[in-house]
Chains A and B, each alone.
Chain A
Amino acid sequence: MRPRYRYIQFRVVSQKRRSRSEVFEAIQRTTVSTYGVSGFAEILPTLQSFDEDTQEGTLRCTRLRVVEMRASLSLIHEIRGDKTAFHVTGLSGTIKALGVHQKT
């Protein structure tokens, strides 16, 4: 059966502007180090989009592992030696609804 997903809108606050690859690498690294390979497979984080100008992006994870995904994001505190924080700005079951939440 196809797993159900949740979409997490986030903003990166860092000492330098971060690229899409740096952001996704940090997410993957922290998730694996916190939950292990098996946990990563259950959370299944996928970076849907990341705007390097606004430093905002959308991340997809499995519906039953949203809390774990948020905990992983909050544990990211540096990217390549620069202090960094991830702030979740929205959470939804569809990308479309996420867009509506962002506009309101």
Chain B
Amino acid sequence: MAVEFGPGSMNQTGKVEEICNGLDLEVSTRVDLDPRDGGSLQNMLRHHRGRFDIVAGVCRNHSVARQAALDPRVDLLEFPHDPRERKLVNFSNKEAELAANRSCALELDFSAMLRADEIGQARLLSIMRTELSIALDNDVRVIVTSGAGDLYGLRAPRDLASFLGLLGANWQTCLDAVSTSPLQVVARKNTLIARLDRDRDTR
């Protein structure tokens, strides 16, 4: 189970963890960083990386996208929901290559499709198809999330996998995007901590 927080609501993480522990649920906290440029992403990472299990970088321009793909502290690359804004950022082969080298995953948010009108959905499908094909060509892990804000936005994993099928992925890739890939993103935190500790020791 993953819980998403804004940078201003970090004091609530402890409360959520307490509730979930009572229900015997394992909690992974996540933060979405929405910086103006690459420099402010680094500042935000300095503050938030250690406090959350998963860090997603919202790439609203090339500078942020490049920095997020380059920085090993970023787990997920997320792109804007608005198709016009998203088209301008344009996930490129260079960013995909950088992301693949640092085991950073590409997140495709299903809720963007639900929020868009019919024309917007068509545009999003086209953009997401391109992003997916670039990611798969460069061995970047892809994950699909429901991005649900309420009960009506929730979708079962296999339904989300079917959505990825709509973008042209084969069925095994679709299933990985809702099973092994998200698990690897969560597990990545432990390897990252181990590596940071090792770096600190060698210094």
Partners in one complex: yes
Q: How far is the CA of A73 from the CA of B110 in the complex (A)?
A: 13
Q: Tell me whether A56 is interfacial, beta carbon within 8 Å.
A: no
Q: How far is the CA of A39 from the CA of B73 in the complex (A)?
A: 43
B113's contact among A15, A75, A87, by CB below 8 Å, is which?
Answer: A75
A25 → B minimal CB distance (Å):
16
The answer to whether B162 touches A67, judged by C-beta atoms less than 8 angstroms apart, is yes
Q: For B158, list chain A residues within 8 Å (CB).
A: 70, 88
Q: How far is the CA of A44 from the CA of B54 in the complex (A)?
A: 41
> Which single residue of chain A is at the shortest CB-CB distance from B125?
A34
B159's contact among A13, A33, A70, A84, by CB below 8 Å, is which?
Answer: A70
A74's contact among B118, B150, B159, by CB below 8 Å, is which?
Answer: B159
Q: Interface size on A (CB < 8 Å)?
A: 18
> Which single residue of chain A is at the shortest CB-CB distance from B159?
A74
The answer to whether A33 touches B118, judged by C-beta atoms less than 8 angstroms apart, is yes
Q: How far is the CA of A55 from the CA of B170 in the complex (A)?
A: 32
Q: Which B152-203 residues sit within 8 Å CB-CB of chain A? A: 152-156, 158-160, 162-163, 165-166, 171, 174
A92 → B minimal CB distance (Å):
14
Q: Tell me whether A71 is interfacial, beta carbon within 8 Å.
A: yes
Q: Tell me whether A42 is interfacial, beta carbon within 8 Å.
A: no
The answer to whether A84 touches B162, judged by C-beta atoms less than 8 angstroms apart, is no
Q: For B150, list chain A residues within 8 Å (CB).
A: 83
Listed in ascending order, the chain A residues whose CB lies under 8 Å from chain B are 13-15, 33-34, 67-68, 70-71, 73-75, 77, 83-85, 87-88
Listed in ascending order, the chain B residues whose CB lies under 8 Å from chain A are 110, 113-114, 118, 121, 150-156, 158-160, 162-163, 165-166, 171, 174
A sample of 28 cross-chain residue pairs with beta-carbon separation below 8 angstroms, ordered by A number, consists of A13-B152, A15-B152, A33-B118, A34-B166, A67-B162, A68-B162, A68-B165, A68-B166, A71-B159, A71-B166, A73-B159, A74-B155, A74-B159, A74-B160, A74-B162, A74-B163, A75-B114, A75-B163, A77-B114, A77-B152, A83-B150, A84-B152, A85-B152, A85-B153, A87-B155, A87-B156, A87-B159, A88-B159
